[in-house]
Amino acid sequence: TEKKECPLFLGELGRSTWGFLHTMAAYYPDNPSPSQKEDIHKFMHLFSKFFPCDDCATHLRSWMKDNPPQAENQDRFSKWMCYAHNEVNGRLGKKLFDCSKVNERWRDGWKDGSCD
Ligand code: FAD
């Protein structure tokens, strides 16, 4: 019988959403225009209202009040996204990610060549 595809559970939704968010940050420009910076603020603001896990979205909005998006350039925005994810990791008792390696994980591949 055909295996049917089912709605995402939180773990799958979280994993794929972080994949999207970190990859978006990985390809954010080094020299963004003023309107690109403004759009990132708008995007994250709206994202934090519509991410379809109410508890997660509430936590994210509250964290973002003290930690507004840093959209100055690729390095700052990718690190900011990493800190946002680490806030969740910490709350869930997961290991924190070393944010100095965020471009290896999401853009360039690991320095040891394991993604080549
Ligand atoms: P994930 O945490 O999904 O991580 C996927 C991969 O990202 C990891 O394997 C690792 O390679 C990489 N990674 C890990 N940490 C970082 C980092 N700091 N920076 C860059 N890369 C990293 N779940 C809840 O139960 N409660 C919540 O409040 C909650 N809030 C969430 C808020 C948002 C915005 C999102 C997108 C998800 C949230 N989730 C929440 C889901 C949760 O974060 C995980 O996605 C889920 O538990 C699955 O975890 P995982 O172990 O598969 O890896």
Using alpha carbons, list the distances in angstroms from residue 107 to 23, 26, 35, 101.
7, 6, 24, 10
Q: Is 56 helix (H, G, I), strand (E, B) or coil?
A: helix
User: Looking at the predicted structure, is the pLDDT value of residue 80 above 90?
Assistant: yes
Distance CA 40, CA 17 (A): 16
Q: How many residues does the chain have?
A: 116
pLDDT band at 115 (very low <50, low <70, confident <90, very high): very high
Query: If you average pLDDT over residues 32-58, what whole number do you get?
Result: 98
Distance CA 98, CA 6 (A): 33
Query: If you average pLDDT over residues 69-90, what whole number do you get?
Result: 98
> Which domains, and CATH codes, for the chain?
20-106 (1.20.120.310)
User: What is the per-residue pLDDT for 1?
Assistant: 83
E strand segments, the chain: none
pLDDT tens per residue, range 12-27: 999 999 999 999 999 9
User: What is the per-residue pLDDT for 34?
Assistant: 98
Query: If you average pLDDT over residues 86-109, what whole number do you get?
Result: 98
The reported pTM is 0.98
List all residues whose CB is within 6 A of at least one atom of ligand 1. Answer: 10-11, 14-15, 17-18, 22, 51, 55-56, 59-60, 82, 85-86, 88-89, 92, 97, 102, 105
Take atom 39 of ligand 1 and give the residue whose Cα is closest: 14
Whether ipTM exceeds 0.90: yes
Could you tell me the distance, in angstroms and rounded to a whole number, from the CA of residue 38 to the centre of ligand 1?
25
Which DSSP string do the residues of 5-23 spell out, in sequence order?
Answer: P-PPPHHHHHHHHHHHHHH
Buried b (16+ CB within 10 A) or exposed e, 77-115: bbbbbbebbbbeeeeeeeeeeebeebbebbeeeeeeeee
User: What is the per-residue pLDDT for 111?
Assistant: 96
Ligand 1 atom closest to Cα of residue 55:
28
